[in-house]
Amino acid sequence: MERLFIVCTFDCSFEYYEETIENFVKEHGHGVVIDYDLNKINDHKSHSFYNVTSLEAFIEILDTPFAREWDKANNCKDIVYKLELVE
C-alpha cells in the first residue's frame, strides 16, 4: 500500500471538484484507491490523502483521457507526494 498527499488547485468551485473526485474514484478507483480524505483549503484549492494499492496504477487512472480533459477544462494542477513513515 502507498500513502499519498496531493495538493490540488483548480478554477472550478470546490463543490464541483469534490463531486467530480467522488464520482471519479467510484468509477475508476476500484482496486486502486483503498480510501481517501479530501480537505478544502479554499474555494480553489484542496489537500487530500490517499491510500492506494499501487502508485503506478494510481498514476494510470490520473492519466485517462477523461482526467486529462477535465484537468485542462478546469485548470486543475496536482502535486503528488509519496508519504513514508518516519520511525
Tens of pLDDT along 8-22? 999 999 999 999 999
Chain position carrying cell 490540488: 8
Tens of pLDDT along 33-80? 999 999 999 999 999 999 999 999 999 999 999 999 999 999 999 999
In whole numbers, what is the pLDDT of the chain averaged over residues? 96
How far from chain centre, in Å, is Cα 3? 12
SS3 category, 11? coil
SS3 category, 5? strand
- CA dist 53 to 19, 37, 44, 84, Å? 23, 16, 28, 14
